[in-house]
Structure 1
């Protein structure tokens, strides 16, 4: 009987125009992220490649030489001022010439010496830096940077790998941005009226006269809400990842990513503040980071859908349901930004689990001032909150007096 209820809910879901509109908007958002990523890659190549550096330095050198000639022909300047300005311009021009020669050498040798040679040289320089530092904290930070460089070399990952619009880079960006900006509001619009709209036209009473319990009726709605929301968000993200990967390349999944930063209280001039523990954190591969991000996104998706179910079950009006949900989401974010006290208790409020990147890296502690804001707290509170919301929804739906 439950399978029949699920089938019925899916039929109703795909009979709504709203389903396709929201899905279309989400696809459009994913397309916009592709465009942004591609634009960022082009800008990086334009301004950071050896060819671009040669072009920019050549133009700058020409401008400075023109400026030097204008100084020499400027009758308004005294001989002493001319001499000073010519000397300064000459020093800068010589510096530009040296930079230009170095950039040309890099351009000419780009096919002869690959990025590994440059990275090996950088590792040697970083090792010298580490060995020369006596300060313990600074040494820890520089050692962490040395570890990053070695991981890039060991796993065959260029240092600029993050600047390219590859499949894995796009996937990570999509998950982080969607969770932070779209997930809560999008799922509210997608699911907000799934229960409450049944009361007004009286369609729910036709379900309740069937030989099936109210618990199964509401569970069927909840299961469809979770599955359809997962398909809307995570399946679409996966398809875009595959599309970008096929066209642009999937990229290197072993790029090191710094996570697990630790913080502590420090005191200065009688003031207490939170500071990062020197050298804290550890590196994981990008594919591991992505899996953790997807897990947190899925948890956030489930708890938001369960919250939507709760409000939609309690309210008999779709308008009231949508109003309460949107006010709760927007109001929570406003208070979060305005109140430091509220931010300290935000680890226990599911509405603030959308900042996936900061949660995984540990930077959320710095933002909120709460050492309790960890991914373990988020996972535990998400599961507890979803279970509580679902239990209340089932109890309310079972006890509610529905006139047939």
Structure 2
């Protein structure tokens, strides 16, 4: 009986034999370069960063003095106020987008492109086997349906991980070449337990990458589910892509009027709202969002496994 490792290896070979996969990698590299060049060309360096930070402090103090300020937004303002005061006191310049670390942080936005690439791979993983008629040949092997499906899902996630590593490498190299590494020792200022602390910028970048990967995992799982349930590559890509780009906007509109919007998937995928922003719906917390994501993750996978294992392949 083929081991799960050999099945995963076989799926990886299928992925990296395709010209489309290498086109995606090339496009990822071009995107990091283009992003750096655009940032360098459009960024305007402030004449006096201390004056700008001082101005921001006054604006925050004015907002905090208002009576009708939502509690969660007020907490966010107070934290940012303390951080800005710490900057001025310790002469720590804000991390600009046209610096090595600034570009690495902003490059996390390119994870949306990786999500789109992984959706395409995951959507075709099962559906193409049915379209090409190779599913019967696959299932006559001694490996169980569960192992076959698991190997395809793991291979899709490994592809996403590979693309993430490439993004980090590409961004680091491009950032160092375009912006230099003069400010590589700059710390990241975080607000913890009522005080401002200095942290490693590398750890902050890794945290930003990790938090931005939530959409990646959830949309990959969703596309994989549609692929297995409906056996249609185009439908899986279309639905997952629509959900990726329209889902957050629709959820935001609903959250303005309804508290129950916090139970929707896209109200919880942006975990950065608990780090550098305010929750979409008042009362939401990091543990709540993680629990909701786990529930959706289990539902998507349960549907995939149940339907694939019970399906008549000849149908």
TM-score normalised according to structure 1 size: 0.62
1:10 is matched with 12
How far has the Cα of 1:23 moved from its partner? 2.6
Counterparts of 1:351 and 1:197, CA distance in 2: 28
Whether contact under 8 Å (1:256, 1:283) holds in the other structure is yes
Partner of 2:262: 347
Q: 3-state DSSP class of the match of 1:8? A: helix
Q: Structure 1 CA distance, aligned partners of 2:27 and 2:269?
A: 20
Matched, 1:358 2:273: yes
SS in 1 for 2:141: coil
Q: In the alignment, is the contact (CA less than 8 A) between 1:166 and 1:244 conserved in 2?
A: no
2:34 to 22, 32, 35: 32
- C-alpha separation in 2, matches of 1:282 and 1:354: 27
Q: Which runs of structure 2 are paired with 1:203-218 in the superposition (5 Å)?
A: 203-218=134-149
Residue 178, structure 1, aligned to residue 110, structure 2: yes
Match for residue 378 of structure 1? 289
Displacement of 1:207: 1.5
Instruction: Select 1:235's aligned residue among 165, 171, 174.
Output: 165
Matched, 1:256 2:189: yes
What is the CA-CA distance between 1:150 and the residue it aligns to?
A: 3.1
**2:306 alignment partner, one of 367, 392, 395:** 395
Aligned residue for 2:24?
A: 22
Structure 1 residues without counterparts, runs of 5 or longer: 51-114, 261-279
Q: Indicate if the aligned counterparts of 2:263 and 2:292 stay in contact, CA closer than 8 A.
A: yes
Give yes or no for contact 1:188–1:322 (8 Å, CA) kept in 2: yes
User: How many Å separate the matches in 2 of 1:253 and 1:204?
Assistant: 53
Which structure would you say has the larger RCO, counting Cα contacts within 8 Å and 6 or more residues apart? 2
Cα gap change, 1:301 to 1:324, in 2 (>3 Å): closer
> 8 Å contact 2:104–2:168 — kept in the other structure?
yes
Provide the rounded CA distance (Å) in 1 between the counterparts of 2:198 and 2:229: 44
- 1:44-63 superposed matches below 5 A: 44=45, 48-49=46-47
1:172 Cα deviation (Å)?
A: 0.9
Partner SS for 1:323: helix
Alignment correspondent of 1:86: none
| Contact 1:195-1:312 within 8 A present in 2 as well | yes
Describe the shift of the 1:21–1:350 C-alpha distance in structure 2 as closer, same or farther (beyond 3 A). farther
Shift of 1:329: 3.5
* SS across alignment from 1:256: strand
Alignment match of 2:102 (pick from 161, 169, 190): 169
What is aligned with 2:133?
202
Give RMSD over aligned pairs.
Answer: 3.7
The corresponding residue for 1:275 is: none
**Residue number in structure 2 paired with 1:150:** 86
CA distance in 1, matches of 2:144, 2:271: 38
